[in-house]
Chain A
């Protein structure tokens, strides 16, 4: 059974520019991903225009930048697939949930699921890698839930507020992602609307004195 949500991916457009600039200027973005707080908004804007310019429309792009959008909430976050190697069928993934009130396991999990589906099903990749800082525990925990393996522990590889932190390198192979999807499918096998209605009815009956 496919997982149906209202979250979807789409190519970023010029109208998204202000949203993305605002996200990239957030301290959280620079703390958990990258960026230089000393950059002016103009420089950030120029970088984004350049990024969006080499998006998926190109024949063999080295990077793809997509918006995570939702019918209910509008633009939720930014997904970037970098260092795409068409020869090795591999890429690195960065994902940022810009709307702070949506930074929870469900929204992030669904966004990652959609991103990985895009990587494996649309781009036909074999491997998706991610570099995640050790202090970003929620992110690497969610990525591990998809079946990704922690392959690298790079000691003192990133500096934040003058302190060195470890960096983790994760890898997710196509077979591991397919096994993860199979687990989701099996867990939802016995779920039906009828069964849910009956369960609710049972709960109501139990509550009634």
Chain B
């Protein structure tokens, strides 16, 4: 467990399945939970429990973010790590949009960045945002992510098409890790 000033961050475990399941019930799907085809995944709590129990897949890369009172406020982690090109995709989601403005969010993202740049030795982190995820986007931009473009009309839900923006975050200048080296 990582104890921050505002958050506890720990590896997610099967008992977190109900908290994680809450993210699948939002009116507009979370961009972090879309699959490779940009389709929302409809998972039951039991399926999530099984996934979180899969040590190879989840342990060490997917984390629960708790506040100081021990309530789960969200999840963070990495997926789709490409070791050759040294990049990975950030999964970052907080249940309450207002939480993106809290120091807890910054602590969790700093932890995720360290996970990518120091432990996995990546040179780039990517993240995705739907248009409606304005709080997440503002948070990512404030953290230092830059836009790499917008994929148009890539997700169809609630009777209309939605765009997805791709953002990237690079380690500070002078960091050792470079792709392909």
User: In whole Å, how far is A13's beta carbon from the nearest beta carbon of chain B?
Assistant: 27
Q: Which residue of B lies closest to A176 (CB)?
A: B152
Task: Verify if A169 is at the interface (C-beta below 8 Å from B).
Answer: yes
Q: 8 Å CB contacts to A: which residues of B75-121?
A: 84-87
Q: Which residue of A lies closest to B152 (CB)?
A: A171
Task: Verify if B38 is at the interface (C-beta below 8 Å from A).
Answer: yes
Residues of chain A within 8 A of B153, CB atoms compared = 126-127, 171, 173
Given the interface pairs A164-B180, A173-B153, the reply to whether A156 lies near B39 with Cβ below 8 Å is: no
Q: Mark B18-49, 1 if CB is under 8 A from A, else 0.
A: 00000000000000000011110000000000
A85 touches B166 (CB 8 A): no
Residues of chain A within 8 A of B161, CB atoms compared = 88, 126
Q: Tally the A-B contacts, defined by beta carbons under 8 Å.
A: 82
Task: Verify if A159 is at the interface (C-beta below 8 Å from B).
Answer: yes
Q: How far is the CA of A52 from the CA of B126 in the complex (A)?
A: 32
Give the one of A87, A129, A156, A169 with max B CB within 10 A.
A156
Q: 8 Å CB contacts to B: which residues of A137-187?
A: 149-159, 162-164, 169, 171, 173
User: In whole Å, how far is A178's beta carbon from the nearest beta carbon of chain B?
Assistant: 14
Chain B: residues with CB nearer than 8 A to chain A?
36-39, 84-87, 123-124, 126, 148-156, 161, 166, 168, 170, 178-181
Of the A-B pairs whose beta carbons lie under 8 Å apart in the complex, a sample of 26, sorted by A's number, is A83-B37, A85-B37, A85-B39, A88-B37, A88-B39, A88-B156, A90-B38, A126-B153, A126-B161, A149-B152, A151-B150, A154-B126, A154-B148, A154-B149, A154-B166, A154-B168, A155-B148, A156-B123, A156-B179, A159-B84, A159-B85, A162-B180, A164-B180, A169-B149, A169-B151, A173-B153
Other than the given A88-B156, A150-B149, A159-B85, 14 more pairs (CB < 8 A) read A84-B37, A88-B161, A90-B37, A126-B153, A155-B170, A156-B179, A157-B85, A157-B87, A163-B180, A164-B85, A164-B123, A164-B178, A171-B152, A171-B154
